[in-house]
Structure 1
Amino acid sequence: MDFNVKKIVKDAGTALSRVVQLTEEKLGKCEKTELDPHFERLLERAENTKKQTEKLVRSAEAVLVPNPSNRIEDYIYEKIDKQKPPRLSNLEYMGLDMVETGTVLGAGTPYGATLVKVGQWEQKLGQTEREFIGIAGMCFTQPLKRFLDTEMRTIAREQSTLEMKRLDLDACKNRVRRARSMLGQSGEIPAEFALEQAEQDLRVAQSEFDRQVEIVKLLLEGLGSSQDEHLKCLHDFVETQARFYSQCATVAAQLRRELDNCCKSGPVLRLNSEELECLNSNAQNDSYNNVDLSRV
């Protein structure tokens, strides 16, 4: 492999210069180039947008997929770019259990038959819920996650580059100040030549810093158009949710009508313990009264 020794040495020197500059800033031994207030406000807005969007995605996914294990499983399948296996909703599982219980207890009994009927309708509700979860994910959570993975990640990368350019700029400023302070002093390298070289490096660093500021500013100002897209996603989510609840209400109303039309079972007598003891006592008294005393 052909190594560019000069480039490696230069990159190492740049990295060391950045570390020294950052350390001196932390210790308060040198000044730091400040960004203009408007740019700082854009950065703050971007950071708030990132944090709140991440929070919103987590909350929405917790509602759509309440089971944390299922959310982790879905996340893994997304990362390995594989289609997640089909999964029944909780209502569908409950419906299946109702049908099974009604069958075991006896589908010919009123309770068993009703369990089977309700279980079948609960499966319909579960299927409607599963369809809602899929549509809501496509129209709301997935666009927000793509925004975080693309635009916000690009901003973070360019912002990191800007910080590196800022460190380079401030390091060049410090070298110019040191070169100016050495004017008139003798040394192996003439102070005038060192100052000229430092000023040339400063001009290059300033140009690269200004260019990177403009790049980041354009990205930050573009967040407004992203919010317009997110607003549309929010409207789609509300529409999907309204349709889902309407479908659920329709299914539940149909189930209630079917149950009302079924033959009602006869009245069931429920006795507490005191009433039961009273009945037993009365029965015993009746038996004593009916005894044939002629045989005693």
Structure 2
Amino acid sequence: MDFNMKKLASDAGIFFTRAVQFTEEKFGQAEKTELDAHFENLLARADSTKNWTERILRQTEVLLQPSPSARVEEFLYEKLDRKVPSRVTNGELLAQYMAEAAGELGPSTPYGKTLLKVSEAEKRLGAAERDFIHTTSLSFLTPLRNFLKGSGEPSRKERRLLQNRRLDLDACKARLKKAKAAEAKATLWNDEVDKAEQELRVAQTEFDRQAEVTRLLLEGISSTHVNHLRCLHEFVKSQTTYYAQCYRHMLDLQRQLGRCGWTQVSGPYLPDPGAIFPGTFVGTTEPASPPLSSTSPTTTAATMPVVPTGAGLAPPEEAALCLEEVAPPASGTRKARVLYDYEAADSSELALLADELITVYSLPGMDPDWLIGERGNKKGKVPVTYLELLS
């Protein structure tokens, strides 16, 4: 019991001494041991890494879950170490509403049929979003959280110890200074100065040892950056996959709407959806990254596949064209490399596989967004934007 009481008293004394030293330093009434410039740079770098990691983590959480109440709920589940319940995405909820609306308004009507088509697309978008959130959480958010909670904690702990050692060292320096001043006035015996010098040597040794430990940990921040860099690559990969999936789903939906043609509903003809919803990327000339695919080649000439103007609709003279009777022109044929897989919308089109070579040519009066493609004894219309024309 006596030992514990003595230890508590000793700890209280050390804490009080450090508090006094820290306060006097703040008011400029005591000298402070300064760290070298390299050490200060390491400290600043570690602080910047921690602060920016926290900000990036929080904003990524906002990106994945814009609802503040949902984020609070997920935080509480995490603190309680319980599994977060599965939540319907906004796209899936919209798909549900559209499907129910089609059922009530008439699934056989033009509006009802279109609602069902869009509902299926929104459902696929919601599923893609769910996969993106799950992948990003595992490969990006979790490592950042681990750094802030676990990996970064040792360096912060050692920095606190270093701060205490520095305060002890400066307190010993102050005591030695006072002892020498008292000795000069012949008010202290030499053994008091010797005691202060011994305490200073011990404090200096402990400070130097702790400074070296802390320095090694701070220099390890470079490996932390390497790990964060790897996680950042995974995040970009997941995001690219997600947007590529969304793009393909919307392309498929737009092609389906474009096949509706003109519909007569007890009166004047209504324009086809392809005219109402023109291709978003029509006319885009800037190259963009292709969708992620195990079969997609990497090429600087690649551009994102775009929806040809009036996708799925051929001019009147071309619609009457019989492909079996079409013969390639004597000149003007070219080889083309297929950039992305393409599923033929009907028998007049030619299905494509990424990276294959086909022969292409144009015919008078053809839509400039389409070419005639030949592969062996098969031929059909192919969209220009899925091809890389070779010289």
Q: Give the TM-score of the pair, scaled to structure 2.
A: 0.65
CA contact (8 A) 1:96 1:120 kept: no
- Which amino acid in structure 2 is aligned with residue 133 of structure 1? I
RMSD, aligned α-carbons: 2.0
CA contact (8 A) 1:179 1:191 kept: no
Q: 1:250 aligns with which of 238, 243, 248?
A: 248
1:131-187 Cα shifts (integer Å, max 9, x gaps): 011101111122112111123232222211111111111001111111111216566
Q: What is the CA–CA distance in structure 2 between the aligned matches of 1:236 and 1:103, rounded to whole Å? A: 41
- Which amino acid in structure 1 is aligned with residue 227 of structure 2? E
Q: Which runs of 5+ in 1 are unaligned?
A: 271-296
Look up the SS of the partner of 1:182 in the other structure. Answer: helix
- Which amino acid in structure 2 is aligned with residue 222 of structure 1? G
Aligned pair 1:191/2:193, yes or no?
Answer: no
Match of 2:54 in 1: 54
With a CA cutoff of 8 Å and minimum separation of 6, indicate the structure with the bigger relative contact order.
Answer: 1
Match of 2:91 in 1: 91
Q: What is the CA–CA distance in structure 2 between the aligned matches of 1:59 and 1:144, rounded to whole Å? A: 12
In proportion to residue count, which structure has more helix? 1
- Which amino acid in structure 1 is aligned with residue 161 of structure 2? T
CA contact (8 A) 1:172 1:201 kept: yes
Look up the SS of the partner of 1:82 in the other structure. Answer: coil
Structure 1 residue 223 displacement after superposition: 0.5
Aligned pair 1:235/2:228, yes or no?
Answer: no
1:16-95 alignment, distance < 5 Å: 16-95=16-95
Q: What is the CA–CA distance in structure 2 between the aligned matches of 1:53 and 1:32, rounded to whole Å? A: 31
Match of 1:159 in 2: 159
Match of 1:13 in 2: 13
CA contact (8 A) 1:185 1:191 kept: no
Q: Which runs of 4+ in 1 moved over 6 A?
A: none
1:34-64 Cα shifts (integer Å, max 9, x gaps): 0111100110111111111111112211111
Q: What is the CA–CA distance in structure 1 between the aligned matches of 2:2 and 2:28, rounded to whole Å? A: 42
Q: Which runs of 5+ in 2 are unaligned?
A: 270-391
Match of 1:140 in 2: 140
Larger Rg belongs to? 1
Structure 1 residue 263 displacement after superposition: 6.5
Q: What is the CA–CA distance in structure 2 between the aligned matches of 1:247 and 1:19, rounded to whole Å? A: 59
Q: How many residues align?
A: 268
Q: What is the CA–CA distance in structure 2 between the aligned matches of 1:24 and 1:230, rounded to whole Å? A: 40
Q: What is the CA–CA distance in structure 1 between the aligned matches of 2:92 and 2:114, rounded to whole Å? A: 17
Look up the SS of the partner of 2:82 in the other structure. Answer: coil
Q: What is the CA–CA distance in structure 2 between the aligned matches of 1:70 and 1:266, rounded to whole Å? A: 46
Look up the SS of the partner of 1:22 in the other structure. Answer: helix
1:86-235 alignment, distance < 5 Å: 86-183=86-183, 191-235=189-233
In proportion to residue count, which structure has more strand? 2
- Which amino acid in structure 2 is aligned with residue 24 of structure 1? E
